[in-house]
Each structure stands twice: as structure tokens, then as C-alpha cells.
Structure 1
Amino acid sequence: MDRYTIVRTLRDAIYGKVVLARCNESKKDELVAIKMMSLVQLHSRKGLRIGLNIKEDGLQEFAILKELTPHPSLLHLLDHFEHENMLCLVSVYCPYGELLDQINCPNKMTTRGLDEAMAAKWFKQITQGLLHIHNSGIAHRDLSLENVLIDQQQHCRICDFGLATQHGENAKGRVGKLFYMAPEVYLGDQQSYNGFAADIWSLGIMLFILVSGLPPLEIPGEKDRRFRIIRQEGIRVLVKMWGVRVSNRVLDLISQLLKVQPDERLSLELVLQHPWLAPDNNNNVEESSSRHSITSDSLHDSKGKSAFEDNQTCVG
């Protein structure tokens, strides 16, 4: 721990806490985030405060982070070490918070999503990061706007690999957040599924929320009327019912991601070639809200709640 000086605690974590620290070996007094996790709790798979068995595997996350090569759209490891029976994972400090904070700010006068030009920029970064993860043989399985952080350069970084697996083609278990969970993952306690395809569904949910400000469904199963509409008639019908104003191009992309049949979902390579992400896409501004600006805040000051349940720290 001699290489770092702790500035303050940013937030509690399942197995410990996340702190803001200054790198003593940096000439520029570089700030970093350090996730400090109790080794006892990690090995027992019990949360430090809740004391319950949990699905997030901190040791698996550590192994996967060591496996992944650096990428601009990932919150990769800068350093790691043990200190006072704590496993410490050092990463880039992201002062602009969770991506979801950009949509769910208390001072916003509307529930509308982001300007489509800004949404396209960030969505492309996320997709590039996810492609890098998949090309490394890893399925994330917990993709969400809460698990994307914005760094000092206002670049999106995918984080939280506690549910990721290197057995993506034959994944098992119902994991992740219900809002973002693919239908086959919802049934994951009964059957195996392709974790890579499940990530693409989650990507589609993220995009829908980015441009609309609302989740399209609550449960990815037949009990949810909105899910039944998506399965039977497609996302376009739901958008029309809600009166959500988005461009035709982004709606086309969303509809190709939110296919109930996993093998019908658009590949990540084709997502990156979609016209909505083209530099000359002029549909972004016409039917989207005013341009979005963000101001600095602490990413790790978020309290970990779903932003659809409570207000979060506003960074926009």
C-alpha cells in the first residue's frame, strides 16, 4: 500500500469498499480507484455487510481482469496487491459516474433519454468494449448502464465482472439485473444458454434506455405484458404505444438487438456497421432531445441503488 495514499472512501462494496487514492509514484499525483475486498469474505462468498451467499464472485472477477488485455472501453486493472488481508484492485478513477446517472438526474425536467448523437457516441464505445470482451472468450452477463463508468475523458468503460464467465457458450444460472436480463437467462436455472447472445440483448435494453429514458420491460418473461408485446409484435409497437420519439435508425437497431430468439440477434460486428452509428447519420438530432452536457462528480459516490428505484447523484 506504500505506492498509494488513500484520499477518502468512495462507497461500500459487496466484499469491502472502494476508495479514492493518490498514486505516490506518479509525477502528476494521479488519482486512482482501489476496490478493497476482504479475502475471508471472497473465499466464503458472503457479503461483508449482508452476510448472505451471493452470486458475484470477486475471485473470478480478479481472474478475468487479469486475463483481459487493456482496452479504452474497459475498466481494466492498473495494479493489484494484498494489504491487511484485503485483495486490492487498482483501476482508473472515473469522475463522471455511472452512465445511468446521465439519464436519471434529479434536476432533469424530463424522463427523456440522451441526445441521440451523444447516445450513439457512448453506445459505440460500449459495443467496442463488449466485442473486445467477447473476443477474449468472456461473456459479461451483467451488462447494464449501472456497470458502465465515464472516465476523465468522458469515455465509457465497462466494469464489474463478478458474474462474467469463460464458459459463455454454455452458461448457466439466472444472473444479472432483471431490467437487462435476456429471456433465456431468466430461465437460466432450468437450462443452459449462450452468454454472448445474452449480452447482446442486454446491450439492446441499454440502448433503449439511453434514447428513451425508460426501461422497455420489468421482467423478461411471459408475466410481463410489455415482454409479450415485444415477443409477439416487436419493439416498434411498444414504442408507438408509449409515444416515445426516437429516430427510425436507432429503432431499427434496437429491434435487431431485442430478438427473443438468441440466434436472431445482430452480431456485434454488424452492430458497429449499423447506419445509426455512421459518422454522417443526420437522424440523431432531428427527433432527439437537446444536447447533453456532463459535469464532474465522483463515480464511486453512487450508492449502488437502481436508478429506477431512487434518485442518484446527478452528473449531468
Structure 2
Amino acid sequence: MGKGDTQEVAQPPTANRFVMEEYGYEVGKSIGNGSYGTVYEAYSRKQKVMVAVKIISKKKASEDYLNRFLPREIQVMKVLRHKYLINFYQAIETTSRVYIILELAQGGDVLEWIQCYGACSEPLAGKWFSQITLGIAYLHSKGIVHRDLKLENLLLDKQENVKISDFGFAKIVPSNHNVRNSPSHQMNCFTHLSKTYCGSFAYACPEILLGLPYNPFLSDTWSMGVILYTLVVARLPFDDTNLKKLLKETRKEVTFPPNLTISQECKNMIFQTLRQAPKRATILDIIKDPWVLKFQPEQATHEIRLLENMCQPPSTANRHQSVEINT
């Protein structure tokens, strides 16, 4: 999150405290500041646990965000319950603000960890990446795409387990967007196309950078490849300071610093995700990859079954490809 007003970060306005106290929350210090508001720690008297409160100012937020993206974020989070996703507890709306109560991850984010400690050991990178894989497999199996995966949106709990956060650009893709005659590499459930260009340039797939209709499921797996590369190398695979240069770099196979010891299996996982869309790994490919399997904390049988069931051929009534226009 970006830096904001120092006074607001120090403590929440009195009006916010009163509203939150009415709902049983004692608001504490700020832990982050975004475009439209601030995130605070709070104590839930009912649940007797610390939580995070995202306070969004309606005056600061755009109408598009308030009317389209925020309702969608809340709608998505209400249906999510997974150990590697930040849990949603409650949303409270007043005339001037929206308060979103979330699970608190007290270990900061993965970007901060990398900035502090440098590249991860491969076992730690494998642990975190396998947790991300399980979380995204759960999302994709429900027909939900994240569309803003990046290190800043990967939070850590006290045990340094990953919690995927920030569903502001997430979207539920209806099941009737499946098509039958898809390329053999990509399964029926991964063929929806979108024209909403979300996320950060450094993590964005080439299709988004080119402004082309893109597959949001495969944009998530591209971002996962950028994340894994950054975990093991401690820098982004592509230079995002110049769009023209960035586009050129994304067309080439990534290279690794010669001074780092990274297994070929790990490199292969990165190569599979940072490919052009027709050959890019889906989440089902990733969750079955031998390198990822080595680090999975538990069997992913449930996630795999959900994904495979989701990818059954649709009825003849739905044999058309759907393109999302600015949604």
C-alpha cells in the first residue's frame, strides 16, 4: 500500500472509532494505507481475536470503485473459506464510509520479507508457492479469478504461512462461459476472455500489456510465475520501468543469475508459467507439477477433483465463447 496522511495512519478518526465500537470492535493502530482508505488492527470483543479493518472513504473512492469493484470484492469474499486465503468476516456501510472486517495476518507481506531477507531458500519458496497454488486452485475451482496477484498481496500469518489477500479485482466467471472446442492444452474451464485490464505491469501477462482480450485464469498463473521467480531470485523477472522494454522481455525465456543455486525442477515450473498463453500452465498443471507436489502441505485431491469436475464438457446450449466487455 502507498503512503498516506501521517495523522490518519497514526490513529483512526473519532467517527470511525464510534462506529466500530457500536459493532463490537476496538480499533487500534494503522497497518497500511491505500488509495481510498486505511487498514487498521482491531480487537473483536465478540470473537475475542485481533482482526483487520479496511476503512474505505466514499469521498476518496471513485464511483466506479464504489459501484462496481467494491460490491464485487465483498460478493467474492463472502463465498471464500480457505486456509490460504484471508477470511472475510463482515462489511459495515455508513453514509460516508465502508468498513470491511477481515482476518488479520500479523507477519506482514511477502514483499517486505524479500526486502528484508533477500531471496528465499528453495524449500521456503516451495512452501509458499505450494500454499499459493492451493489457494488459487480453490479460487479457480469456484470459477473465481484474482487478477491482482503480487508479492504485496501475499500476507504472512504468525507461522509464516501465506494468506492471499486483496480481492478488489477478483471476479466470478459464470460457468456458462465454458466452451467445448478449446485447445487441447487448455481445459474447457479456462477459456473465458476478459477485457478488464487489472493489476500491476510487472506481474501482468503479455496479453494484458498488449491490450488484447485475455484469459483471466491464465493471467493468474502468469502472475504466479513472476512471484515464484521473485521468491528465488529476489528481483522481478521483467523490468517494468518501460512498457516497450517490458513487452520485449516478456516474449523471451527468463534467465537466472549464475551465482544462485536453483534446481532445474523449480526453473521448469517458472518456464511453464511464463509462456505465451496457448502453452501456459493452468492451475491444474501447476498443482500436479512434481516440484510443487514435493512441497504441498497436504494432498490436493479435493482441489484437483473440483477442477476436473468443473472442466467437464458443457451442454450444447453453451457452446460459445464469451468475451467480457469492461466488467
What TM-score comes out, normalization by structure 2 length?
0.71
Question: 1:243 Cα shift?
Answer: 4.6
Which position in structure 2 is the counterpart of 1:93? 104
Residue 151 in 1 paired to residue 157 in 2? yes
**Inter-partner Cα distance in structure 1 for 2:133 and 2:285:** 11
Residues of 2 paired with 1:95 and 1:164: CA distance? 23
Whole-angstrom distance in 2 between the partners of 1:275 and 1:46: 40
Corresponding position of 1:258: 274
1:75 corresponds to? 86
For 2:293 and 2:274, locate their aligned partners in 1 and report how far apart those are by CA, in whole Å.
21
Paired residue secondary structure (2:266): helix
| CA positional deviation for 1:36 | 1.1
1:155-194 equivalences under 5 Å are: 155-167=161-173, 169-188=192-211, 191-194=212-215
- C-alpha displacement of 1:228: 4.0
Matched with 2:143 is 137
3-state SS of 1:104 partner: helix
The reply on whether 1:231 has 2:251 as its aligned counterpart is yes
Residues 1:17 and 2:38 aligned together: yes
For 1:269-308, what aligned pairs fall within 5 Å after superposition? 269-279=284-294
One-letter identity of the residue aligned with 1:258:
L
5+ unaligned residues in a row in structure 1: which ranges? 48-54, 282-316
Task: Write the distance in 2 (CA, Å) between the matches of 1:56 and 1:14.
Answer: 16
| Cα distance, 1:23 vs structure 2 | 0.7
Deviations 1:178-237 (A, max 9, x none): 11110001122xx31111111110100000000111111124998327x646634x22xx
**TM-score, length-scaled by structure 1:** 0.74
The residue aligned with 1:58 is: 70
Q: Distance in 2 between matches of 1:77 and 1:195?
A: 23
Shift of 1:10: 2.2
Counterpart residue type for residue 135 of structure 1 = S
Structure 1 pair 146/57, CA: closer, same or farther in 2 (3 Å)?
same
Cα distance change on mapping 1:76 and 1:280 into 2, 3 Å:
closer
Q: Contact 2:206 / 2:250 at 8 angstroms: preserved in 1?
A: no
One-letter amino acid of the counterpart of residue 134, structure 1: H
Q: In the alignment, which residue of structure 1 is the partner of 2:134? A: 128
What whole-Å deviation, never above 9, does each CA across 1:236-291 have from its counterpart, x for those lacking one? xx226x5543111100111111102x12111212212222123389xxxxxxxxxx
- Between the two structures, name the one with larger relative contact order (CA 8 Å, sep ≥ 6): 1
Per-residue CA shift, 1:51-90, capped at 9, x if unaligned? xxxx993332122212x32111111211222246321111
Q: Secondary structure at the match of 1:36?
A: strand
- Alpha-carbon deviation of 1:165? 2.4
Aligned residue in 1 for 2:283: 268
Structure 1 match to 2:225: 204
Structure 2, unmatched stretches of 5+, are: 1-19, 174-190, 297-327
The 1:84–1:12 alpha-carbon spacing in structure 2 relative to 1, beyond 3 Å, is farther
Q: Which residue of 1 aligns with 2:49?
A: 30
Q: Calculate percent identity across the aligned residue pairs.
A: 28
